[in-house]
Amino acid sequence: MESAGHAPGPHRGIPRRPSGAYHIDSYCRLHRSAPADLTNAFPVVQLSLIGFLEVFMDIIIDTSALIAVIVGEPERNRIVEMATNNTLIGPGSVPWEIGNAFSAMFKQNRLTLREAQKGLAIFQSIPIRYMEANFDNVLKLSKNANMYAYDAYFLDCAVRRKAPLLTLDLNLKMAARKINIEILEV
């Protein structure tokens, strides 16, 4: 029988971490575990192997940046560099938007089904934390910026997380700047 508060299986005896607790991984890096409620920003801290303290940030990543990585567009390497060791966050709509982007590429004969399946595997390997939208806020952002809710979801995430936005979408960049959201330039 497992003791209360401990993980089952091969990790038996290791205390479970409460949500949002710090832990040290096998490379001696200190991390802040994912809080259950992503509405509060928490810094992630790492002690590097050479002893310097590094602080990582949350980044709101949109579909255009993800598609650039997945299909190997010229911006791919810079996006990967910017995202590495940071926490990528997006609205829960991201998987549907990726699927929609693939279907649009089908219609333009830019992508085969096999390529889309490989792209889906790449997408699924990208660690993204999904955030539930505040629909009241999304509607206000959508109305004020004259944009679709799908774009406003990313602005909502950025506002609520107080995090920069990583996008290649020029209209989304302009709307973000108007409400003082930091843009990570690729």
Give pTM, 2 decimals: 0.71
Question: Among 1, 40, 33, which Cα is nearest to 17's?
Answer: 33
pLDDT tens per residue across span 45-98: 455 555 555 568 999 999 999 999 999 999 999 999 999 999 999 999 999 999
pLDDT tens per residue across span 99-149: 999 999 999 999 999 999 999 999 999 999 999 999 999 999 999 999 999
What DSSP string runs through 34-62?
A: PPS-TTS---EEEE-TTS-EEEE-EEEE-
Question: Among 172, 177, 180, which Cα is nearest to 61's?
Answer: 172
Question: Among 131, 132, 167, which Cα is nearest to 151's?
Answer: 167
Domains annotated for the chain, with CATH where assigned, are 17-56 (no CATH), 58-178 (3.40.50.1010)
Least confident stretch, 7-16, 70-79, 109-118, 163-172: 7-16
Distance between CA atoms of residues 63 and 39, nearest Å:
21
Strands 128-131 and 87-91: parallel
CB atoms within 10 A of CB 77: 13
In the chain the first and final C-alpha atoms are separated, in Å, by: 52
User: In terms of DSSP H, where are the helices of the chain?
Assistant: 63-71, 76-83, 94-107, 113-125, 135-145, 149-161, 170-178
Residue whose token pair is 């971490």: 17
pLDDT of 41 strictly over 90: no
